[in-house]
Every structure is written in structure tokens, then in C-alpha cells.
Amino acid sequence: MRFIEEVVVEEFLPTLRSMLAEELRDRGLTQSEVAALLGISQSAVSKYVHGEVARNERLLTDERVVDLVERLGDGLTDGKMSPVQALVEAEVVIRQLEQGDVLAQLHQEEVPELADYGGAFDVHDPDSDVRVAEQALASVRRGLTVIENTTDFARYIPAVGTNLVEALPDATGIEDVVAVPGRIIDLKGRPEIPAEPEFGVSEYVASVLLTAREHGSDARAALNVRYDPTIVDALESSGYTTVEFDAEAGIDEAIPAALAANPDADVLYQAGGFGIEPVIYVLGPDAPTVAGRLRDSL
């Protein structure tokens, strides 16, 4: 685990300080004056000025860093900029370079796995792709913990298996939905979770969730279990809206029709049909919530 702040400390700061120390010395300041302005020791200034500190070539030639050094050099030399103002100016540039720019690129080189998320990664952006994706994965893991700790949950796993899914906020396909690979099964009376949750591994439950979202539901997560009228009754008693859909119709027809009757439905269910296993889908804002709703209804 390597944080972008480490890249700033180990790559950006030595480069900036050495460039700024050279700039200030070139403007006639003594090592003592430079040390006071930069808040470092005179020996450190000497090392920076004499090239005894490794510098990042990419940052060394970046025009924004070069411009920052010149502005700080001007302001600190003539006294029009305080050290605090200089710090703020430097922080602004650091944040800029972290936002899918050179510092983010250096971070990605240190942590190649970040490339799996594609696009520009801003570590400080709560809505960045990597953060949203990791939050969804973590949410499903928490939901699975609820399932594992729910007494008798395995009794309600249908023959086709159960899955707990959560979609990204702007999900358009199953590749944007986190789920359990291979589904959850009943193994000797306990729910068996075969692998860590991943994106794009659920077809049926993810399709139900996506279809519901396309037709008015604001749910981000779904969980399927074997149909039992007592569960439906318990969910209704808890204040959740339940809607039955046509078991004989396909998802693309049945779910929209059910939601047309009540787009605020929290529970979709069908009582079975010829060769069709009855099932309940609990919908909600996130995976732990839907798992908790079902746990409280068993």
C-alpha cells in the first residue's frame, strides 16, 4: 500500500525545495535566509544547492512547477509573499498535479493496480472511479458478513443460488454491478460464499436490479431468496412495499409492469410457475441494508 502523499514527500518536495533553494540563492539570498524562508536547516539548503538531493526529472521540467518556483522566488525575495502564502501557492499546485496529472501518474506507476479503473484518478475526489468502485466492493463485503451471521439464512437460498449485488451510481450494464462469482449456495446448512465479490459476474440478479433502476427504482442493491409468504408478510409489516410480478413473463416485461403499479417497491416477488422457482428480490440503497432487511424478516 503506497499513498499519493508518499509520492509528494519523496518526489515532489525534494524537487521543489531544491529548485526553490537554487532560485533564492541565485537572487542573492544567503543560505541562512533561504533556510529561514523554507523552514529547513542550512545544511539541507547546502545539499539542495549543491545537487546532493535526488530530483524527479519529470517534475523538474514541468512548466507549472517551474512557474511556481519563479513566482515563489519573486514573492519571497521582495517580501510581497509570506512563507504561509508561499505554502498555499505550493499546495494549490500539488492538488492540481494530483488530479489525474503528473503526481497521479507517478502514483499509478508505484501502484499499477490503479490502472485497472481507467481514466484519470484523483485520490482526493470522493466521486473518483476508483473510490466509488472500492466503496461498492466494500459495501457488498459488509452485506455478505450480515448474511453469514444470519441464523437459518441457508434455508432460504433457492435451488439456483442467492446473490447479493450492488450497482455503481451510474451503472448501465452488469459490468457496473458488484456481485458474488458463482452465487451463494447452501452448504450443509450454512451459506457458502465461493469467492470475493467482483464486477460483472452476476447476470440474473444484476439484470433485475438494472431493469428496476431503468423503470423508476432508485435502488442500488438487491438480494434474492427463496419465496416464502411469511417473509413477504414480515417485510410488509416492517413497512416495506411489496409487489408481485408475473413469473411467466421475462424480466424485461415483468419488472417494468410491476414497477408501473408501484415504482417505490422495496420488494419484488413471484410465487412460481410451471418449471419456474418462486423467488423474492429485496431492493435497497446498499448491500448491507438489503441483507439487514431480510435478516430482520426471517
* pLDDT exceeds cutoff 60 at 124: no
Quickly list H helices, 159-283.
204-214, 229-237, 251-261
pLDDT class of 252 with cuts at 50, 70, 90: confident
Alpha-carbon gap, residue 3 to 162, rounded angstroms:
37
In this predicted structure, what is the pLDDT of residue 263?
83
What predicted TM-score, i.e. pTM, was given to this entire model?
A: 0.66
Query: 88 vs 36, 69, 83, 184, CA distance in Å?
Result: 17, 13, 9, 52
Chain segment 191-209, per-residue pLDDT in tens:
999 999 999 999 999 999 9
Give which of 295, 276, 268 is closest to 209, Cα–Cα: 268
pLDDT class of 248 with cuts at 50, 70, 90: confident
Chain segment 146-194, per-residue pLDDT in tens:
999 999 999 999 999 999 999 999 999 999 999 999 999 999 999 999 9
Alpha-carbon gap, residue 240 to 282, rounded angstroms:
10
* 186 strand-pairing partners: 191
Name the packing angle between helices 13-26 and 63-78 (round to 10°): 50
Domains of the chain (ranges; CATH) run 4-114 (no CATH), 129-297 (3.40.225.10)
* pLDDT exceeds cutoff 60 at 275: yes
* pLDDT exceeds cutoff 90 at 280: yes
Q: Which three cell numbers stand for residue 39?
A: 523552514
Q: Which three cell numbers stand for residue 225?
A: 431468496
Alpha-carbon gap, residue 215 to 208, rounded angstroms:
11
Strand 185-187 to 198-199 pairing: unpaired
* 242 strand-pairing partners: 267
Alpha-carbon gap, residue 184 to 239, rounded angstroms:
27
How many other β-carbons are positioned within 10 Å of the β-carbon of residue 267?
Answer: 23
- Beta carbons of 261 and 204 less than 8 angstroms apart: no
* pLDDT exceeds cutoff 60 at 38: yes
Half-sphere exposure of 178 (CA within 13 A, CB side): 26
4 vs 125, more confident: 4
